[in-house]
Amino acid sequence: MEENNEIFEVKLKEKRELEKLEKIGWGLFLIMLGAIWLFPDSIVPEGTFMFGIGIILLGLNFAKYAKGYRVNGFTVFLGIVALLAGLSSLLGRPVDIFPLILILWGISIIFGIGRKKRKKDL
């Protein structure tokens, strides 16, 4: 009975930590959005929003990974897309998001095959 109680306490602690990370992410998002809207378009470079979204999504997933929690592959994917799209705009070479998504999707399929094969070999 005490073992079940300890497991419940650990799960509750993990849930609270994950909720805290999500709140930090939402807070960063709102701060960034407000800051971008506060300044005129002439001051904020095109692509800043997408770049910021990518940094926030990848940063949250890195924090989860560092704490030993499961990383959300979909938000990592979205983070990479947003980061690359924002970075390309910031560098003055905007890229359409849809072809970028197709490229990254193809890469993930190729690497996914390699991971599954290695797991079978073990």
What is the pLDDT averaged over residues 25-43? Answer: 93
Considering only residues 93 and 5, tell me which one the structure prediction assigns the higher pLDDT. 93
How far apart, in whole angstroms, are the C-alpha atoms of residue 46 and residue 49?
A: 8
Domain extent, residue 8, equals 2-121
For residue 2 the two structure tokens come to: 């005490």
Q: Region 31-54: what's the mean pLDDT?
A: 93
pLDDT for the residue numbered 87:
94
Query: pLDDT at residue 4 above 60?
Result: yes
Q: What is the pLDDT of residue 13?
A: 87
What is the reported pLDDT for 117?
56
The answer to whether residue 118 scores a pLDDT higher than 70 is no
Q: What is the 3-state secondary structure (H, E, C) of the chain?
A: CHHHHHHHHHHHHHHHHHHHHHHHHHHHHHHHHHHHHHCCCCCCCCCHHHHHHHHHHHHHHHHHHHCCCCCCHHHHHHHHHHHHHHHHHHCCCCCCHHHHHHHHHHHHHHHHHHHHHHHHHC
Task: Report the pLDDT value the prediction gives residue 61, as an integer from 0 to 100.
Answer: 94
pLDDT score, position 108: 84
In sequence order, the 6+-apart residues with CB closer than 8 A to the CB of 81 are: 54, 97, 100, 101, 104
Q: Beta-carbon neighbour count of residue 8 at 10 Å?
A: 10
Count of domains forming the chain = 1
